[in-house]
Amino acid sequence: MGSTSTKIKLRTSDQKVFEVEKAVAVQSQTIKYIYENGCPDSVIHVHSVSGDILSKILDYCKKHVNSAAGKEDISPEELYEWDANFVKVDQNTLFDLILAANCLKIESLLDLTCQTVANMIKGKRPEEIRTTFNIKNDYTIEAEEAVRRENKWAFDMLGGVGTMVIEELADDTMSKCVTNTKSRVCVIAANQIVMMRSISKLANKKSIDVYKQPQNPTTPRIKESVKQRNVGTGFIELFFHFKCKM
């Protein structure tokens, strides 16, 4: 029953007061908890949310409550489209929505914004993601290197064909890797790629000596010798010995 539905008052960080139906407000687990454990008539302060954002969020909650209760005749596909339009906002607002949904603990809105951000990230490299969300790269050079090395396994030979990267080249470097004949080896020194070689070309040779003439005078010159041995079906272990002149 309940012909006059209970209303809850919410005060935002910028001192705006909203009065909403209880069913709508308790979509937020935080508000629900405060309401059930505090004095029902008092105003609930939502410090971390501004009036504009709360207004949008209450729109969202109302739409979902009404559609679930059958008060609004809206099909699941239409609701899905409404949600999609709801998050078509500028990046600042999206961010505010995420923070507010996290603070107010609104599960479905968190899922929606999470999916939205995931879609925006799809296929992007880290620099592009930073630009999209205006995130500052707070890595030091060493830290960034460390993270790249930590995640190197993710890029190794995707699908059997990939590039094995040998970095930090100094003179008289010995390097060993286990790879397959379909891969390539890429050698980077002084932030430049000095060599890219297909391993299948090395596969039939026990050891080779190569002295690479660089086009760019700042590119290090390297002399490499390679030994390889089979260590199982499809595995090749490669020993690289680099002599490098910067």
Nearest to other proteins of 43, 147 (CB atom): 147
Pairing of strands 44-46, 17-21: unpaired
d(CA 135, CA 142): 19
Helices (H), 70-164: 76-86, 91-104, 107-121, 126-133, 141-150, 152-155
- How many CA atoms lie less than 13 Å away from 200 in the CB half-sphere? 7
Q: What angle do CA 32, 3, 72 make, to 5 degrees?
A: 75
Nearest to other proteins of 81, 209 (CB atom): 81
Nearest to other proteins of 1, 158 (CB atom): 158
Smallest distance, Å, CB 171 to other proteins?
29
Smallest distance, Å, CB 238 to other proteins?
14
* C-alpha R_g of the chain: 29
Q: Which spans of this chain sit near other proteins (rule: CB under 8 A)? A: 13-14, 47-53, 88-96, 98-100, 102-103, 110-111, 113-115, 117-122, 124-126, 129-139, 143-144, 147-148, 151, 153-160, 178, 180, 182, 232-235
Nearest to other proteins of 115, 225 (CB atom): 115
Smallest distance, Å, CB 180 to other proteins?
5
